[in-house]
Structure 1
Amino acid sequence: MFKKDPTTIEEQIQKLKDRGLNITPEDNAEHYLSHISYYRLGEYWHSMQYDKEQHLFKENSRFSDVIALYNFDRELRILLFDVIEKIEISLRTKLIYHLSHEVDPWWFQNFDLFTDSMALVKTLSNLEEELSRSKDPTIKNHRKKHRDDLRFPPAWKSLEQTSFGALSKLYGNLKNTVKAKDKIAKEYGTVNHTFLPSWLQSIAQIRNYCAHHSRLWNRNLPGAPKLLPKPPNPWILEIENVPRQFNKLYVHLCLMKYLLNTVQPGNTFASKLDALLKKHPNVDPDALGMKPNWRNEPLWS
């Protein structure tokens, strides 16, 4: 049976020192470990270890660098959460508007419009749970006023209560014959329904990492979004800079930037990302899959 005793903060610090991590009094290690768990910080010092089994650190590994990486990752999540919020609100608006006009305000519970019925059942079940917990006066007043109507409240009320992940699943699950599916994709500059679903799934996954304060730096990301062969809007010109490492964050940052350029023309995402990297020069951009001249590409300029 697995058994492991907890260690005190003093024991944690001594263990790290014994394994070769340089910790000075100025590092305030006791303070940081009392507010950020040893296990969480371990995700940032793991790459500094030359022996992953014995947890032995490479020469000149410093606790201060661990904290710098942690802070960079935290600020990166805050930046991306702000970007994704704008994309999420836009997607919600377009789904509600286009589908409600093409079909009716209850399109999202019309099984004839969707490919995977079981997936829709799950989405609607989660939505019902969200609505039942909602304290939003719009929802409470609707159900009080229309208590005999057993349907969900209309899309412009119901879908304001659901997550980006659910919205991306609703869009991806729409049959390709639904006109709004291509219309929305075209408005985002992603041509048609072929590409946008995988982009939204990718961004929704990253949103979940941000929401749960999970590490993004040096993380292998799941999924392989489909890239447009000839994007109609500014993209990446130099072929060696076209992101092919789907497990790295950079390709996903490019997708966000491409959509954000439609949602918020003149946005400052590129300058904020550039400033963040300059603020933390110890962070290797290659760990994110970023090329040295990424800032010069039309997408980011």
Structure 2
Amino acid sequence: MPHALISFHKPAKSPNALLRHMQLKGLDTRKQTAKALQALEFIGYHRLLIYMRPLQNPQKRFFANVQFDDILQLYDFDRRLRLVFLDAIDRIEVAFRSAIINTLALDKACGPHFYLDAIHFNDGQAHRNLLKQVLGLRDSGNASLKHYYDTYNTPALPPVWTVLEAMTIGQLSRLFSDLHLDHRKMIAAKFSYDESVLSTWLQSLTLLRNVCAHHGRLWNASITAGAPKYAKAIANEFPPHHDRGRVFARAVVVQALLAKIDPTSDWKSRFKHLIASLPMTALAKAGRTTADLGLVAGWENHQFWS
């Protein structure tokens, strides 16, 4: 039986009051009071709270010798980790949009408005859902969609390249998964991976993008929903099955795709440099290790990452 709900009566607290609260919980701020107040003023206690939890015991008291810098180092590392992933996901999202257009819109059997015909999808329900989604995009404020509806009266819906530009990565992922198997295979060939693998990769990157975009904690998260499927060609690059929800499994996916999209990309170097900056002292105080990211031992020396 669910517990009874109660009224919320907690008052808002000033940065000074919040810092005092943290000190009463055992946080050492003797040498970092000004920095702590600055962070509480411009980052916020509740944003930093999820980085305090690993540094606290079950009673929410800070472990011995934990300083405010330890919290900030975990926060800053996670912020930079999110940014490096968002940059990569942006490129991958654009590449998949282009791959669908260049594969199907140019195909004489499909064309710019192929998505209007249910024959190009797994089933009728998937097609109906897509059309409903496309109709819903009309009021999205997208300039290209507005131009089409203001200029043309037939076909009733825009060409696929206009539709794809207005879609979110989640909608794009759903579209790819709902396409007829033959179409998915043709698109997947551009990335040199099996279509079933790519379907899970897009889903996993969608979830990752949402965590990053909404400022969720990433470094020690386990996003088990939509975990990426292993590709046989690079199976050794992935962490063990129980760790495939960790961030490193998705880093492998990102690097595998970027290697096809742009072989000159320096993303892998930036990722390696970022991981090398892990705040090991803060991790040690939290009783955590690099295993929280799902890192494969010696991964940085693999040819895949060189």
The TM-score bracket by the shorter chain reads 0.7 to 0.9
CA contact (8 A) 1:243 1:250 kept: no
Q: What RMSD, in angstroms, separates the aligned Cα atoms of the two structures?
A: 2.1
Aligned to 2:230: 227
CA contact (8 A) 2:220 2:246 kept: yes
Q: Does 1:35 align with 2:42?
A: yes
* Cα separation, 1, equivalents of 2:45 and 2:184: 46
CA contact (8 A) 1:260 1:267 kept: yes
Q: C-alpha displacement at 1:113, in angstroms?
A: 2.4
Distance 1:14 1:113, change over 3 A: same
Paired amino acid for 2:44: S
Q: C-alpha displacement at 1:119, in angstroms?
A: 4.7
* Cα separation, 2, equivalents of 1:30 and 1:291: 38
SS in 1 for 2:41: helix
Deviations 1:11-46 (A, max 9, x none): 211111111122235352121112223222111111
Q: 1:217 aligns with which of 216, 219, 233?
A: 219
Structure 1 stretches of at least 4 aligned residues deviating more than 6 Å after TM superposition: none
* Cα separation, 1, equivalents of 2:123 and 2:16: 54
* Cα separation, 1, equivalents of 2:196 and 2:142: 37
Q: C-alpha displacement at 1:88, in angstroms?
A: 0.6
Aligned to 1:195: 197
SS in 2 for 1:50: coil
CA contact (8 A) 2:32 2:68 kept: no
Moved more, 54-63 or 108-117: 108-117
Structure 2 matches for 1:127-138, cutoff 5 A? 127-136=134-143, 138=144
Moved more, 90-99 or 124-133: 124-133
Distance 1:255 1:98, change over 3 A: same
Q: C-alpha displacement at 1:91, in angstroms?
A: 0.2
Paired amino acid for 2:266: T
Q: 1:65 aligns with which of 70, 80, 83?
A: 70
* Cα separation, 1, equivalents of 2:245 and 2:9: 33
Q: C-alpha displacement at 1:116, in angstroms?
A: 5.0
**TM-score, normalised via structure 1 length:** 0.87
Q: C-alpha displacement at 1:242, in angstroms?
A: 4.0
The total of aligned residue pairs comes to: 288
User: Gapped runs of 5+ residues in structure 1?
Assistant: none
Structure 2 matches for 1:236-255, cutoff 5 A? 237=236, 242-244=239-241, 245-255=243-253
Aligned to 2:187: 184
* Cα separation, 2, equivalents of 1:110 and 1:171: 15
Q: 2:163 aligns with which of 158, 166, 173?
A: 158
Identity %: 28
Distance 1:31 1:184, change over 3 A: same
Moved more, 5-14 or 86-95: 5-14
* Cα separation, 2, equivalents of 1:119 and 1:145: 29
Deviations 1:44-87 (A, max 9, x none): 11111122xx2112112221111111111111111111111111
Q: Does 1:49 align with 2:51?
A: no
Moved more, 95-104 or 282-291: 282-291
Q: Does 1:145 align with 2:148?
A: no
